[in-house]
Amino acid sequence: MFQYLWADLHIHTVLSPCAEVEMIPPLIIRRARDLGLGLIAVTDHNSAENVAAVIEAAEGSGVAVLPGMEIQSREEVHLLTLFDTVEQVLAWQAEVYAHLPDLKNDADYFGAQFVVDATGEYVRTNERLLSVSTDLSLEEVVTRVRALGGLVIPAHVDRPSFSLIVNLGFVPPDLDIPAVEIFRFSREEEVRQRFPQLRGYTFIRSGDAHRLSEIGARTMFKVAAPTVRELDLALRGEQGRRVEIAKTIASFK
């Protein structure tokens, strides 16, 4: 009854100002399927307006899509937030928007933020500045996401910027996180040596994909279903569930 799902839980779409225009729903799904991924998460910066389109594009593909968002906390730390339903992630988005400064995006400087449909057709431009910190603290992010039924995983903790470890130097005690994410080229043993303060935390590795070729830094999840609760159990190594980072990285080209 267990499934072994290769997952990349950190994928940006054209809604993220820094993502390439090729990051549209059908191409993301095709790439995921070609790489043998059974599970992906859509995690745009501080917004989830393309999540439903990617889920629709994935219908019948065999690729499960988790609704998500990469939020930037007050401490300039990036955190993956993952949910089971579009309703949950949109409720989260409403909270996030209420905690973002009300500023307009400078598309020439940061890049444009496109909302698209399941075929990748342009729907509208999100004019709001998304590449900025919310005024929510790390603890507030975790508490609010858990209350909505979601899961929080600090993103790319070994990167030099927007990272929990580099910005803060440590993981705040009592933060309810089951795992941390390491960057797509990082090796678990090296990160553990560099950051002994991560002892005791499970690692996942994701693509943080801003272009199609960056999808595929896989982590294997042994779960009964691709749900937040099952992922949480797998990340904590409970009830027969577990995770394992791929020995090799799916081809980057």
Nearer to Zn ion, 28 or 155 (CB): 155
Q: Which is nearer to Zn ion, 142 or 155 (CB)?
A: 155
Q: Which is nearer to Zn ion, 16 or 230 (CB)?
A: 16
Q: What share of the chain is helix, strand, coil (3-state, %, to 5)?
A: 30, 25, 50
At closest approach, how far in Å is the CB of 96 from Zn ion?
15
CB under 5 A: which stretch of 78-86, 129-137, 140-148, 178-186 binds Zn ion?
78-86
Which residues in the 130-159 window bind Zn ion by CB under 5 A?
155
Q: Which long-range contacts (CB under 8 A, 24 or more apart) does 241-248 make?
A: 241/2, 243/179, 243/202, 243/204, 243/219, 244/219, 244/220, 245/188, 245/203, 245/204, 245/205, 245/218, 245/219, 245/220, 246/6, 246/205, 246/217, 246/218, 246/219, 246/220
70 binds Zn ion (CB under 5 A): yes
Size of the site for Zn ion (CB under 5 A): 4
Q: Is 214 in the site for Zn ion (CB under 5 A)?
A: no
Min CB(241)–Zn ion separation in Å: 25
- Per CB under 5 A, the list member of 24, 41, 67, 78 interacting with Zn ion is 78
Whether residue 152 contacts residue 176, with contact meaning beta carbons closer than 8 Å, is answered with: yes
User: Cβ of residue 220: shortest distance to Zn ion, in angstroms?
Assistant: 21
Q: Which two tokens stand for residue 55?
A: 């889920």
Torsions phi, psi of 133, nearest 5?
-75, 145
Residue 20 sits in the site that holds Zn ion (CB under 5 A) = no
230 binds Zn ion (CB under 5 A): no
* Minimum CB distance to Zn ion smaller for 3 or for 131: 131
Q: Does 84 interact with Zn ion (rule: CB under 5 A)?
A: no
Distance (Å) of CA 192 to CA 79, 96, 188, 245? 19, 32, 6, 14
CB 170 within 8 A of CB 107: no
Nearer to Zn ion, 25 or 68 (CB): 68
Which residues of this chain interact with Zn ion, rule CB under 5 A?
Answer: 70, 78, 155, 208
